[in-house]
Amino acid sequence: MAEPARSILAPFLAIGLVVAGGAGAFAYTAGWLSPDRLTPDRMVDAFAPPGGPAPGHRRNHAKGVCFTGVFEANGAGAALSRARVFATGGYPVVGRFNFGTPDPNAPDATARARGLSIKVSTPDGQEWRSAMISAPVFPVSTPQAFYELLKTPKDPNAMKAFAAAHPEIGAFGAWAKSAPWTASYAEERYNSLNSFIFTDSGGEDRAVRWSFIPEATPVPVPAEDLPKRGRDFLEKEIAERIAAGPARWTLAVTVAEPGDPTADPSKAWPAGRKTVEVGKLVAQKIEPEADGPCRDVNFDPTVLPSGIRTSDDQFPAARSAAYAVSFDRRSAEAKDYPAK
C-alpha cells in the first residue's frame, strides 16, 4: 500500500526551526542581541582609563594594602540579626584599605573616596564580606546612572549636563568639596552606603545601613599638603601606625524607619535613626597586597551570612556582577601581578 506523498523538506524545515529558535533564545538570554543591555562586562569596561586597565589588578579601587585582624562582636547586634558574626565573640578578618582609582600606582593624595573592605569568617563556615567607602552617600541613585557617569567625558560641560539630569549627585559633590581630608586610613569613617536587610532570630526584618567609625581622632589636613607626603603616604602611614599598635573602628548599625530611602544610596537617612554599636573592628597587621591575604579576595558585598540579605537597593547586585567580572579578568592575568 502506497503512503501518501509527504514533502521530505517539511521535517527538516521543522528541525531547523526548532534548532534556530533554541539558539536564538539562548543568544537573547546571553545579551548578544541586546547591545544596549547594561551587562557586567560593559560596566567594568567603563572603569578603564584611556590607556586601558592595569592587568592583574582590580578594575576599580585598584590601589590598596592588606590587613588582618579581628571583629569583636559585643552581642548587641544579635537583637538585629541572627548572623553568627553578631554573637559575642572574636571573628578573624581579612581586609583591605584602598581608594577609588583604576590605577594601582596612583598617588595616594588623589584619593577622595577611601575604602575599607572586609571579609569576616565565623565558625559556622559563613562569611560576611563588605566593601565600604568614606563618602557618606553614593553619587547616583541607580547602577544605570552610575554607568552613565562613568561614560561621561570629564569636561565641565558634560559633567554639568550629567548633574542636571541626575541632581542627586549634589550631595556627593558637596561632600567631596567640603569634607576635611585626613592623612590616614585609620582616621576615616567607612560607610556601607547600600542598605541591607537584617533578620533577627524571631524572623523580623529590618532595613539597615552601617558605618565603621574610627577610634582615632580625624586630624584635618589641607588637601594641597598631601602630595608632599609622598606617593604612597597612606600605605606607609597605616603600616607604621599598626606596627605600633592596632587600629580600631566601632561598627554602628543604623536601622531605617518606614519611608526611609532604602533603595537609594545617594540619599542619606534622616538624622536620629536608631543606631546600635555592635562591635569593634581591630586591624592588627598590615601586609603588602602583592603577597598579601587580600589580593585574591573578591569583596563582593552580596557574600552575606544567613541573617543578612540584600534589600531593594539595586547596587549590591550590580556590584556583585561587576566585581565578579573584575575578579575573573584579573585572576586570568596573574602573571601581570606576580607576588614580590
Partner 1 sequence: MTIVSEPRAAAMTESRPRFTPLQRALHWLMAIGVLSMLFIGVGMVSTVTQTHLTLVSIHKPLGIALLVLVIIRIAVRLTTGAPALPADLPEPMKLAAKLSHLAFYGLMVSMPLIGWAMLSAADYPITLWGGFTLPPIVSPSRELHAWLWDAHRTLAFCFFALVLLHIAAALFHVLVRRDGVFQQMAGGEG
Is residue 157 within 8 A of residue 183, CB to CB? The reply is: no
The type of residue at 10 is A
Residue 137 grid cell: 552617600
Decide: is 302 part of the binding site for partner 1 (CB under 8 A). Answer: yes
Q: How large is the C-alpha radius of gyration of the chain?
A: 24
Decide: is 48 part of the binding site for partner 1 (CB under 8 A). Answer: no
**Nearer CB in complex with partner 1: 179/325:** 325
Nearest to 102 by CA among 70, 58, 149, 65: 58
Decide: is 303 part of the binding site for partner 1 (CB under 8 A). Answer: yes
Which listed range, 19-27, 154-162, 172-180, 244-252, lies at the site for partner 1 (CB under 8 A)? 19-27
Question: Closest separation between CB of residue 158 and partner 1, Å?
Answer: 23
Decide: is 30 part of the binding site for partner 1 (CB under 8 A). Answer: yes
Decide: is 339 part of the binding site for partner 1 (CB under 8 A). Answer: no
Residue 228 grid cell: 608632599
Question: Closest separation between CB of residue 27 and partner 1, Å?
Answer: 9
Which listed range, 59-67, 154-162, 181-189, 330-338, lies at the site for partner 1 (CB under 8 A)? 330-338
Decide: is 331 part of the binding site for partner 1 (CB under 8 A). Answer: yes
**Distance separating alpha carbons of residues 179 and 135, to the nearest angstrom:** 9
Choice from 2, 305, 336, 340 touching partner 1 (CB under 8 A): 305
Is 91 among the annotated ligand-binding positions?
A: no
Decide: is 29 part of the binding site for partner 1 (CB under 8 A). Answer: yes
Decide: is 39 part of the binding site for partner 1 (CB under 8 A). Answer: yes
Question: Closest separation between CB of residue 119 and partner 1, Å?
Answer: 9
> Which whole-number Å values give the CA distances from 124 to 87, 120, 245, 292, in the listed order?
12, 12, 30, 25
β strands within 6-153, DSSP E: 63-73, 89-99, 114-121, 127-133
**Count of residues of this chain found to bind partner 1 when the rule CB under 8 A is applied:** 49
Task: Calculate the CA dihedral of residues 194, 212, 46, 311 and round it to 10 degrees.
Answer: -20
> Which whole-number Å values give the CA distances from 324 to 20, 108, 296, 316, in the listed order?
31, 26, 12, 12
Is residue 64 within 8 A of residue 295, CB to CB? The reply is: no
The type of residue at 244 is A
Is residue 252 within 8 A of residue 276, CB to CB? The reply is: yes
Q: Which residues are catalytic?
A: 61
Question: Closest separation between CB of residue 83 and partner 1, Å?
Answer: 9
Determine the angle formed by the axes of helices 143-151 and 315-331, rounding to 10 degrees. Answer: 50
Ranges within 75-134 binding partner 1 (CB under 8 A) = 124-127
**Distance separating alpha carbons of residues 267 and 136, to the nearest angstrom:** 9
Which listed range, 45-53, 175-183, 220-228, 323-331, lies at the site for partner 1 (CB under 8 A)? 323-331
Find residue 329's DSSP bridge partners.
none
The type of residue at 193 is L
Question: Closest separation between CB of residue 313 and partner 1, Å?
Answer: 9
**CA dihedral sign of residues 32, 38, 39, 45:** positive
**Nearer CB in complex with partner 1: 253/321:** 321
**Nearer CB in complex with partner 1: 219/339:** 339
Which listed range, 214-222, 243-251, 283-291, 308-316, lies at the site for partner 1 (CB under 8 A)? 308-316
Residues that bind partner 1 (CB under 8 A): 8, 11-12, 14-15, 18-19, 22-23, 25-26, 29-31, 37-40, 43, 124-127, 143, 296-298, 300, 302-303, 305-307, 310, 314, 316-318, 320-322, 324-325, 327-328, 330-332, 334
Going by the annotation, the residues of the binding site for heme are: 323
